[in-house]
Amino acid sequence: MAGPYRDERLAELANGLRRLVVETLCHTQAGHPGGSLSAAEIVAALFFSVMRVDPQDPEWEERDRFILSKGHAAPVYYAALARRGYFPEEMLQTYDELDSLLQAHPDMHCPGVDMSSGSLGQGLSVGVGMALGMRLKAIDARVFVVLGDGELQEGQIWEAAMAAPKFGLDNLVAIVDDNRIQLMGDTQAIMPVEPISEKWRAFNWNVLEVDGHDPAAIVDACAAAARAKGRPTVILAHTVKGKGVSFMENTHEWHCAPVTEDLKERALTELCVRKVRQ
């Protein structure tokens, strides 16, 4: 039950998700634009091409699972769920509001959210558990976990990184949104996580590297992960924090900051121009 979008349309779709992110964050006057914008192609590729899911039956047992371990990128996740048909797009206007299913950080009560997250470092362990559970139930599906590069500073990530190869979990795919910036500055200055790919290799993972803003490359890497038998795959996706909005790109200032009405208009205009160029 793959998504309806072919690779060539994914770039356009990702920019559409970015526009929804900007609108959502302007509406709520809070949230994390930078890490949502960097993950747009990753989320678009997964939900519209790679993952076998059914928005009409979010609890379908045979589905692929998705965990947004970097839970602060919830706006781009919700944008993808809305566009994919899990809930009406108007619901994005309730993001971060009282009684909304669209909590600032993902909550399992929302359709399409397979695991609550928001405290960094926990999603990969949950993914290991899900992958083990799928094997036990003979469910032929995969678990996709999206991590941030700053999140790799959490020790629990490496506990899980040690565990997944032990069990030969080739149904587990981790994708690192490597935008190289965290809340207070450059990841390498705050606490170096490089060399990332060597670290995962040393933990016995199948390591792939892609341009995280090239949807076709992400789709191909996920297909390659499916062919790599006997061990888990990590896709190191090189991305730009704040991608697509010039004044938000490559700066920690937009890790977490409210989008004003003026800036929203500027951002939406830029994102429309980019759509035309592509």
Partner 1 sequence: MTEMIAMRDAYGRALVDLGEQNERVVAVDADLASSSKMNLFAEAFPKRFFQMGIAEQNMTGVAAGLAALGFVAFTNSFACFATLRTTDQIRVSIAQPSLPVVIGGAYSGLLGGKTGKTHQAIEDIAVMRALPNMTVVAPGDGVEVRKAVFAAADHGGPVYLRMTRDPSPVVFDEGYDFKIGRAVLVREGSDVTVITTGLMVGRAVEAAALLAAEGISVHLLHVPTVKPLDVAAVVAAADKTGFVVTAEEHNIIGGLGGAVAEVLGEQRPTPMKRVGVADVYGESAPNDDLLQKYGLTAGHIAQAARFLMERRAAHTQP
Binding footprint of partner 1 on the chain (CB under 8 A): 61, 65, 107-109, 114-119, 121-134, 136-137, 139, 143, 155-156, 159-160, 162-163, 167
Positive or negative, the CA dihedral 179, 102, 30, 71 is negative
Considering beta carbons, is residue 12 or 54 the nearer one to partner 1? 54
**Contact (CB, 8 A) for 127 and 159:** no
Tokens 């191909």 sit on residue: 220
Considering beta carbons, is residue 163 or 226 the nearer one to partner 1? 163
> Residue 138 Cβ, how far from partner 1 at the closest point, in Å?
11
Considering beta carbons, is residue 185 or 230 the nearer one to partner 1? 230
Q: Distance (Å, rounded) from C-alpha 224 to C-alpha 32?
A: 31
First to last CA, the chain: 28
Q: Distance (Å, rounded) from C-alpha 168 to C-alpha 185?
A: 36
Considering beta carbons, is residue 55 or 127 the nearer one to partner 1? 127
Q: Tokens representing 247? A: 């004044």
At 145 the three-state DSSP class reads strand
Number of other residues whose CB lies within 10 A of the CB of residue 219: 22
DSSP summary character for residue 191 = S
> Residue 260 Cβ, how far from partner 1 at the closest point, in Å?
31
> Residue 115 Cβ, how far from partner 1 at the closest point, in Å?
6
Q: Tokens representing 227? A: 């062919």
> Residue 135 Cβ, how far from partner 1 at the closest point, in Å?
9
Output the CA–CA distances (angstroms, integers) from residue 165 to 13, 170, 230, 236, in the order listed: 34, 8, 8, 17
> Residue 116 Cβ, how far from partner 1 at the closest point, in Å?
5
Considering beta carbons, is residue 81 or 259 the nearer one to partner 1? 81
Residue type, 56: Q
Residue type, 95: Y
> Residue 257 Cβ, how far from partner 1 at the closest point, in Å?
24
Considering beta carbons, is residue 85 or 118 the nearer one to partner 1? 118
Considering beta carbons, is residue 128 or 263 the nearer one to partner 1? 128
DSSP summary character for residue 71 = G
> Residue 77 Cβ, how far from partner 1 at the closest point, in Å?
16
